[in-house]
Amino acid sequence: MTLSQCYCFSLIITIYFSLLFHTLASPTQHFCRPNQRDALLEFIDEFPTDASNPSPWDKSSECCLWEGVTCHDKSSKVISLDLSYTFLNSTLKINSSLFRLSYLRHLNLNGCNLQGEIPSSLGNLSRLTLLDLASNQLVGEIPSSLGNLKRLRYLNLGANTLTGEIPASVGNLNQLKYLILAANELRGEIPSSLGNLSCLLELSLSANHLVGEIPASIGNLNELRAMSLGQNILSGNLPISFANLTKLNHVSLRSNNFTSILPSNMSGFHNLEHFDVGANSFLGSFPKSLFTIPSLQVVYLEENQFMGPIEFVDTTSLSPKLELLYLAHNNFDGPIPESISKFLNLGELHLSHNNVIGTIPRSISKLVNLYYLDLSNNKLEGKIPGFLWRLTTMTLSHNFFSSFEISSQETLIQALDLNSNSFGGPFPRWICKLKGLSFLDLSNNLFNGSIPPCLRNLTDSLTDMILRNNSLSGVLPDIFASATELRSFDVSRNKLEGKFPKSLINCKALEFLNVESNIIKDKFPYWLGSLPSLHVLSLRSNEFYGPLYHRHKSLGFQSLRVIDISHNDFNGTLPSYYFSTWLEMTTLPDEDDRYMADIVNPFLFYRNSMEMVNKGVEMSFERIRQDFRAIDFSGNRIYGRIPESIGFLKELRLLNLSDNTFIGDIPRFLANLTKLETLDLSCNKFSGQIPQDLDKLTFVSYMNFSHNLLHGPVPRGTQFQRQKCSSFMDNTKLYGLEEICGEIPSPNPTTSQQPEELSDSEEQMFNWVAATIAYGPGVLCGLVIGHIFTSHNHEWFTEKVGGRKLRVTTRAH
């Protein structure tokens, strides 16, 4: 049972009991007892009230008529108090007036914003049959005194922050039918005393920190219908007694550390509907007997260590009600069995991340209710059969499919993921007919030719178009006039040329735009700055040119978080206010980032990716970190000073301005970027000293100041001293590199001449330099290989002069 399902089920039970409680008495038939009235009023006065949060009761009326209060029809004593979702906003006191209501049978304070600990005094309300304190902010341990409530049938303490162990005294509640302690911070083992609860129908301990094995005594719970132990740290084997729980209809052991095999014969669980053991380390072969249970509807076996072929029992009595089957992330091999067609009610089939081979069997066409198919990350091959186009979601990525079978039937496909296969030839124009398509990923294939203009037929519904890493050529068509829902567009690593499509200005929902590594030749599309949701922009490695801003237009880019315009031909200076409107690089938003994890539909998730130079190495960011903020302007012809407004981008993690023509001192305001992890200013014309203030950049793991005109001492901060020597090379007057680069032998005066051969010390020095250059991650500018060392007030230069000869010169400091 998943956590959400658990609480839905519990809520239904709570509502049922609440309705039942209010039928126990007819409060209009009697008057409220004064002592009961006084106790109620004193209890409600224990909680703060004001104009925005008034008391829930009218003191001028009979207390048995108050909302949530039920009195016995003869004795007029309060037997039920249901204040669920009333904003009490305080602690439940140990001497609360509540405990004077000694005839209470039902106490429901669910969702009241209660705080503090559960008072042990609750154990004195000995007539309680229902106690619900769920969805509050309660802390501390569960009091063992609750074990005194021998009449209790329903106990719900879920969704709090309770700590400590489950008290063994809970095992004294031998009439208990519902025990819900999920979503707390409980630790320790499941007490074996829970095996005494022979009447229990539901056991929910999920989302805690419980450890150890499931106690064998759990097999005593012969009446149990629902067991949820997921999201704990339980381990070991399932007890043999687990097979005794034949009345179970709902089982969740998800997200634990179980390492055993499942029971060899599971057909005895003849009432089972929902079975979830996903995200464990269960072993063994495919559990054939599980799929003979007639009532079975949902099975989660994903993310385990199951192995061998997927085989069903050779019988016509396979689970006829099965709707969802999750087998992903295991070690299953062999073909998809033809017998899978017997699950006529199957709606979702998940087989991704296994070693399944062969082709898609024709028998799947009999699954008329199938709407979601995930066969990604296997070793399937051949042709995609036409009958699959009636599905709504199909992901077949990371296989060896090479062709399509076109269907004349109506297509219902909404999400199509075919990335990383062996498809080739021209772009498949039949895709233009998929009118309801919202997600399309054809990346990492061998498609060639042009992108057809007919794709504009889809842009009304498309949210994601991913064509990355093919061999597409020709002009990138201007087809986005009606693409108002488009959130992600990626055509990187193709051979597209021409102008940048200006109709992208209509894509008001656009969050991710990547045209990296094409041949697009145009000016900087400054008008993209008006897109309200644009988070990621990559124009890297194209032929863009000209300045980076328009003097008469607003800079915009208020939502930009990652920008890579490196390796183009941009030029000009940047005004001091250039970055002043880049607001999402100044603070992190509170809401979740959709562009980092786009939900295409309720079942298929896609993460945008891109490549950047991070820490001196070109890296692929398959999953862009949610707090990642980056600027890469490297490899252009931008000159002048670094704009002062960049110092306001407090959330910046990566800044790469290398291989440009920036001048002046390295500005001290870069020290304001306290979250920087990567800083590359290499291959420019910076002069002056490296600011000591950069010591404040305590998160920086990579810096590069090489190939500039810097002088003075290298700062002594830890982050500087742990850089490689190559990060400071070719700065003629830098010194203080001894601890970073190592000591270099003092030169012999005769080496000021031009020797025919190298001395031993010179040979040693050159080998050291060559090794540093080969190993170092920095970018080398031009064809000169060099490094500056300072030792004993000398600066050493080496430069290649042809052949294997070196000219070594010495200059006094």
**Domains 261-406 and 511-723 fall in the same CATH topology:** yes
Structure token digits, residue 227: 């067991």
493: left (phi over 0), alpha (psi -120 to 50) or beta: left
Q: How far apart, in whole angstroms, are the C-alpha atoms of residue 130 and residue 178? A: 9
CA 424 to each of CA 359, 421, 465, 493: distance values in angstroms, whole numbers, following the listed order: 18, 9, 18, 16
Would you give the end-to-end CA distance of the chain in angstroms?
A: 75
Percent of the chain exceeding pLDDT 70 equals 83
pLDDT at 164: 97
Write the pLDDT tens digit of every residue in 587-632: 887 655 544 443 333 333 445 666 666 655 555 554 567 789 999 9
pLDDT at 18 over 90: no
Do residues 160 and 139 make contact, with C-beta atoms less than 8 angstroms apart?
yes
Do residues 216 and 194 make contact, with C-beta atoms less than 8 angstroms apart?
no
Identify which of 782, 546, 542 has the alpha carbon closest to the alpha carbon of residue 683. 782
pLDDT at 752: 40
3-class secondary-structure state, position 216:
helix
Do residues 290 and 264 make contact, with C-beta atoms less than 8 angstroms apart?
no
pLDDT at 738: 85
| Mean pLDDT along residues 420-431 | 94
Write the pLDDT tens digit of every residue in 466-510: 999 999 999 999 999 999 999 999 999 999 999 999 999 999 999
Write the pLDDT tens digit of every residue in 668-694: 999 999 999 999 999 999 999 999 999
Q: Which of 305-309, 422-426, 432-436, 540-544 has the lowest mean pLDDT?
A: 432-436
3-class secondary-structure state, position 738:
helix
Q: What is the 3-state secondary structure (H, E, C) of 56-90?
A: CCCCCCCHHHCCCEEECCCCCCEEEEECCCCCCCC
Write the pLDDT tens digit of every residue in 717-750: 888 989 999 999 999 899 988 888 876 544 444 4
pLDDT at 554: 65
* pLDDT class of 765 with cuts at 50, 70, 90: very low
Strands 661-665 and 512-514 turn out to be: unpaired
pLDDT at 419 over 70: yes
| Mean pLDDT along residues 449-472 | 95
Structure token digits, residue 531: 């897109």
Do residues 342 and 363 make contact, with C-beta atoms less than 8 angstroms apart?
no
pLDDT at 93: 93
pLDDT at 810 over 60: no
Percent of the chain exceeding pLDDT 90 equals 73
Q: Topology of domain 511-723, per CATH?
A: 3.80.10
188: left (phi over 0), alpha (psi -120 to 50) or beta: left
pLDDT at 315 over 50: yes
Q: How far apart, in whole angstroms, are the C-alpha atoms of residue 616 and residue 776? A: 9
pLDDT at 747: 46
pLDDT at 618: 56
Distance of CA 121 to the CA centre of its chain: 43
Domains of the chain, by residue range, sit at 1-234, 261-406, 511-723, 745-813
Do residues 392 and 415 make contact, with C-beta atoms less than 8 angstroms apart?
yes
pLDDT at 137: 97
3-class secondary-structure state, position 624:
coil
Q: Topology of domain 1-234, per CATH?
A: 3.80.10
Identify which of 473, 463, 462 has the alpha carbon closest to the alpha carbon of residue 432. 462
pLDDT at 27: 39
For residues 791 and 503, the model is more confident at 503
* pLDDT class of 661 with cuts at 50, 70, 90: very high
| Mean pLDDT along residues 522-537 | 95
For residues 531 and 594, the model is more confident at 531
pLDDT at 408: 73
pLDDT at 626: 77
* pLDDT class of 376 with cuts at 50, 70, 90: very high
Do residues 658 and 704 make contact, with C-beta atoms less than 8 angstroms apart?
yes
Averaged pLDDT score across all residues of the chain: 86
509: left (phi over 0), alpha (psi -120 to 50) or beta: alpha
CATH number, domain 261-406 = 3.80.10.10
Structure token digits, residue 121: 């005094």
For residues 149 and 52, the model is more confident at 149
pLDDT at 787 over 50: no
Residue spans of beta strands (DSSP E) within 240-392: 250-252, 257-258, 274-276, 298-300, 307-309, 324-326, 331-335, 348-350, 355-358, 372-374, 379-384
Do residues 438 and 463 make contact, with C-beta atoms less than 8 angstroms apart?
yes
